Amino acid sequence: MAQEKVMVFIDMANVYKTAKKLGLHIDAEWYKKLVKEIVGDRKLVRAYFYTAMPDQTKEPENYRKTRSFIDALESSPYFEVRLGRLFYPASSKPFTKGVDVKLATDMLEYANRELYDTAILVSGDGDFAYVLPFIKGKGKHIENVYFRKDLSYDLQRKSDLFREIQAK
């Protein structure tokens, strides 16, 4: 029997926001360990990290730190960062645009192309629950990995397996 092929899809803004609330420091090494742990002895096809880059002219220090973080992630085999963009409204803090759509589209596209057997979604964002039945309809398995503080009942209900990230 062929080894199960796994792709990991990580919503970095969601993970970061929740980790920060829990007082956790997460860096590239933390993500590398997380991917290794959740994939286990299965074959990792690729781990995708979805985020956005700060504007270098508006946030030069944050841009530098984010660039260094992304470079550290991408130095690992089979790791790839997929970028959306940051939107800077005049009256509030910047927020990401296009990231969730890229993640959901990639999950569906790669399922259609038969590139994985199991998708592992690392996010507690319930908006992703909508796409999961379409992926399962392609005969794929869905695992959801999340922080308890960021649990989406809808994601949990529509995933085949779900697992809490242990805050360490």
Radius of gyration of the chain (CA): 16
Residues sharing a CB contact under 8 Å with residue 149, sequence separation 6 or more, in sequence order: 18, 21, 22, 124
**From first to last of its 168 residues, what are the pLDDT tens digits of the chain?**
789 999 999 999 889 888 888 888 889 999 999 999 999 999 999 999 999 999 999 889 999 999 999 999 999 999 999 998 888 888 888 888 889 999 999 999 999 999 999 999 999 999 999 999 999 999 999 999 988 777 788 999 999 999 988 765
Angle between helices 28-39 and 60-74 (to 10 degrees): 40
H or E element in which residue 6 lies: strand 5-11
Kindly report the CATH class assigned to 5-164: alpha beta
For the chain, the domains span 5-164
pTM for this entry: 0.93
The whole-number pLDDT of residue 134 equals 97
